[in-house]
Every structure is written in structure tokens, then in C-alpha cells.
């Protein structure tokens, strides 16, 4: 797992960015919260050409491909 996604300060910064990007408020319904499970996966990718950080849902069937990408590009800036 990403060292960044294990850092509470970094996660709080991401949440702050998302709330500010959404006009200062994000409402999560009870149903949305219930629909999240431990099997849900989120990948975090840095796009060097643009400097963008991408948060993306990763489907379990794509996990092997994502692991291969990490293993192949261990010295690059991608992080999952």
C-alpha cells in the first residue's frame, strides 16, 4: 500500500482538496457509506507530464495489472 495513503496528514490534505474542489461541501449519504466495503480499491497515480494526481477506483480484476505496473516501474513516481 502507498506510504502516502497510510499517512493521516496526507489523507486529510486530500480530503481538504476534494471538499474545496467541490465548492466547500461534500455530502455523503447513509446509502453511499453503506455501499463501501473493504474490497473496494482506490489507486493513486501521479501523472508526470501534467503534474496531476489521479484518484481512481480500481476493479479487482485490474489489480494484477496495477501490481505489474508498479513492479515494472518501481523507480518511477507511480504509487498505489
pLDDT at 74: 47
Whether 38 maps to a domain, the answer reads: yes
pLDDT at 40: 87
Question: Using one digit for the tens of pLDDT, what is the confidence trace for 22-53?
Answer: 999 999 999 999 999 988 888 888 899 999 99
Residues in CB range of 40: below 8 A, 6 or more apart: 57
Structural domain boundaries, residue 61: 8-72
Whether 48 maps to a domain, the answer reads: yes
Mean pLDDT on 66-76:
55
Number of domains in the chain: 1
Nearest residue to 59 (alpha-carbon basis) of 73, 80, 42? 42
Whether 23 maps to a domain, the answer reads: yes
pTM over 0.85: no
Amino acid at each position: 500500500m502507498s506510504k502516502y495513503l497510510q499517512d493521516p496528514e496526507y489523507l486529510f490534505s486530500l480530503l481538504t482538496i476534494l471538499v474545496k474542489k467541490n465548492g466547500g461541501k461534500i455530502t455523503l449519504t447513509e446509502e453511499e457509506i453503506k455501499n463501501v466495503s473493504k474490497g473496494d480499491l482506490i489507486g493513486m497515480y501521479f501523472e508526470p507530464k501534467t503534474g496531476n494526481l489521479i484518484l481512481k477506483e480500481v476493479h479487482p480484476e485490474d489489480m494484477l495489472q496495477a501490481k505489474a505496473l508498479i513492479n515494472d516501474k518501481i523507480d518511477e513516481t507511480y504509487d498505489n
